[in-house]
Amino acid sequence: MTVRIARFSRDLKIDIAVDLKGFTKESRTDIFSYRAAPIQVNWLGYPGTMGASYFDYIIADRVLIPTDSQPCFSEKIVYLPNSYQPNDRKRLISERKFTRQDFGLANDAFVFCCFNNTYKIQPDIFRSWMRILNAVGGSVLWLFKDNPQAVANLKKEALAHGIDSSRLIFAEPMNLADHLARHRQADLFLDTFPYNAHTTASDALWASLPVVTLIGQSFASRVAASLLNSVGLTELITSSLEEYESVAIKLANNPLKLKEIKSKLEDGRTSAPLFNSSMFAKNLESAYLKMYRRFKSNLAPDHLYIN
């Protein structure tokens, strides 16, 4: 079947084939190994290089893959001018009027949150969160409720770090529009490391919730920085755990500064490149045209920069 699909694609004379899954569940990357198209692109689904000679390009941006990281990728890099991640500016946020009581959150608490999958919560970042909670009196950490075992283990770890486990609040799954709306009950999103929030970060930013991230060297640890750069909030990108904790604590203790950042983010929802869907589409089309023109000119794939 795989060979038949690749042959069918070639028979249709498809110019560019894009793999949106990579090394993830239910991927069909084997189709690309049979050259479904003369130009093959790795994009979006898998946060890293495929390490395969049959992928010509990976779509990224200058924050996501610095030029000095190019040798780490088997693909040539296509640099979009803003973030590599597309976002729908028409995405619905529910009009339901939630209160903090709806989610077990106290009105007078400072609410840190992280709605990433719990497998992204590594020991170092969890310890960092506990230090932040310890430094910010009356604060709580609102996490996604993935499964009962994770809840029990995280509460146990909080106690081991001297933090009352009741300060960890767990959010039940709900439909996306309501989930986006409940972000408004949080004060600050704390990103995970070394695997950042990706879609989860853009969800928070779309709901006008600031995200503090720690940038690393890998693709997966630079996505939130890419998003923040594209929405004009580079002051929330940190480069060490110490800086990450410092920024989070300072914002929790400075409501005027936090309000300023939230206002900037709210304005950015309509003006920042991150949520300009039509601009993104034009830049992506330009990228595909550049790939195609190189191919038609009998030029080998090379790093491409879209202005």
pLDDT in tens, 28-78: 999 999 999 999 999 999 999 999 999 999 999 999 999 999 999 999 999
Mean pLDDT estimate for the chain: 97
The predicted pLDDT at position 270 comes to 84
Q: In a 3-state reduction of DSSP, which class is residue 78?
A: strand
User: What is the reported pTM?
Assistant: 0.96
Name beta bridge partners: 55.
none
What is the set of domains in the chain, with CATH numbers? 2-87+276-305 (3.40.50.11380), 100-274 (3.40.50.2000)
Residues of the chain with pLDDT under 50: none
CA distance 120 to 306: 32
The predicted pLDDT at position 11 comes to 96
Name beta bridge partners: 59.
78
Cβ atoms of 75 and 58 closer than 8 Å: yes
Cβ atoms of 157 and 126 closer than 8 Å: yes
CA distance 226 to 215: 9
Cβ atoms of 32 and 55 closer than 8 Å: yes
Cβ atoms of 251 and 224 closer than 8 Å: no
Q: Where are the alpha helices (DSSP H) in the chain?
A: 2-11, 29-32, 123-135, 148-160, 176-182, 199-206, 223-230, 241-252, 255-271, 277-296
| Structure tokens belonging to residue 284 | 């992506």
The predicted pLDDT at position 15 comes to 98
CA distance 223 to 108: 32
Side-chain half-sphere CA neighbours of 58 within 13 A:
27
pLDDT per position as a tens digit, 119-152:
999 999 999 999 999 999 999 999 999 999 999 9
Name beta bridge partners: 41.
18, 57
